[in-house]
Structure 1
Amino acid sequence: MSGELPEYYFRVRENGAAVFRVDTENRQRRIEMDQIAVVNIRNGDIKPQGDRTLSDADLTVIQDWMAERTALLAKRDIDDIHRAVDHMNLTTQWAQSRATADQLEAVTDDLLLAMHDLRSVLVRKKADRLMKGDD
C-alpha cells in the first residue's frame, strides 16, 4: 500500500454502500475498519450503524460520496446506451452479412419484439417532450 489511507471506505452495494471509518492508529498498527453507516443512493437514506451518531463531518463525506456516485452511475448509464447503439449496428451487419437462416430464425422474433418495444417507448417519450415544448 502506498501513502496514507483515506479516513473513510465505501463498500459499494447494489443500491448504495456500507460506510466504514478506517483506523490505522492502534497498537498493532493494523488496518481496522469500523462500519459507521449504510447508505441508499436511490432514496437518499443514511442509516447509522447500531447506536452510533454520525458527526457533521461523517455526514458531509457520505453526502459528497453519494453525489459523486450518483453522477458516476448516470455517466455509466449513458455510456451503456451508446454501447447498445453500437451493438445494434453490429447486429444489423451480422444479420445482413454473416447470419445463417437458422441463426436468424433463433433470434428474429426476440429482436423484433425488443426493437418494437424500444421504438414505442422512444416515440411516446419524444411526443411527450414535444408536447411540453408547445405549452
Structure 2
Amino acid sequence: MSVEPPEYYFRIRENGAVVFHVNTENRQRRIDMDQIAVVNVNKQEIKPHGSRELSAEDLAAIEAWMEKRIALLKARTLDDIHSAVDHLNKTTQWAQSKASDEESAEITDTLLMTMNDLRTVLVRKKADQVMKAQAKSDS
C-alpha cells in the first residue's frame, strides 16, 4: 500500500514558509521538491521563487495554507497567554508560601515592573474599549 505525498510542502520558517511543489512523476518515483514561492504570514505576502509564475492552483493552495497557519498561530498565542496566567497564579502561590527572603528579593523588582507594564497596557486597552462602546451607544 502506497501513500501519495502531498502536492505542496511548506517548510516553516520565521514569519512564514518556503513553498515547494512535490513531484514523484519520474522513473525512480523519487520525491523531487521544486521551490515555487516564499510566504510571509505577517505581511500576508506570496513571492514567487525566481522567475516562476504561480498558477491559480498554486495560489489557492498557498492562500489556504496561510489561512490555516494564521489561525493556528493565533490559537497558540492565546494558549500562551492562558499559560502565562497559570504561571502568574503559581508564582503568587510560590511567593506567598515557599519563597525565601533571598529568592523573593531576587525577583521582586523585575516582577513588579513587568506586572506594572502589563497592567498599564491592559488598563489602557480596556479604557479604549469602554470609550468605543460608549461612542457606539451614543450614536
TM-score category (smaller protein): over 0.9
| Residue type of the alignment partner of 1:6 | P
The amino acid that maps onto 1:90 is K
Per the TM alignment, residue 24 of structure 1 is displaced from its structure 2 partner at its CA by 1.2
**Alpha-carbon RMSD:** 1.2
| Corresponding residue of 2:112 | 112
- 1:96 equivalenced with 2:96 (yes/no): yes
Unaligned runs of 5+ in 2: none
**1:80-106 residue CA offsets vs partner (Å, 9 max, x unmatched):** 000000000000011111111111111
Give 1:31 deviation, angstroms.
1.0
Once the two structures are superposed, the pairs formed by residues 47-126 of structure 1 within 5 Å of their partners are 47-126=47-126
Rounded Cα–Cα distance in structure 1 between residues aligned with 2:34 and 2:94:
52
Give the letter for the 1:83 counterpart. Answer: S
CA distance in 1, matches of 2:70, 2:127: 28
Q: How does 1:19-34 map to 2 (within 5 A)?
A: 19-34=19-34
The match for 2:3 is 3
For normalisation by structure 2, the TM-score amounts to 0.94
Letter in 1 for 2:112: L
- Using the size of structure 1 for normalisation, the TM-score is 0.97
Q: 2:127 matched to which residue of 1? A: 127
Matched pairs, number:
135
Q: Which amino acid aligns with 1:124?
A: R
Distance across 2 between alignment mates of 1:54 and 1:126:
44
Structure 1 segments of 4+ aligned residues over 4 angstroms from their partners: none
Separation of aligned partners in 2, 1:112 and 1:31: 54
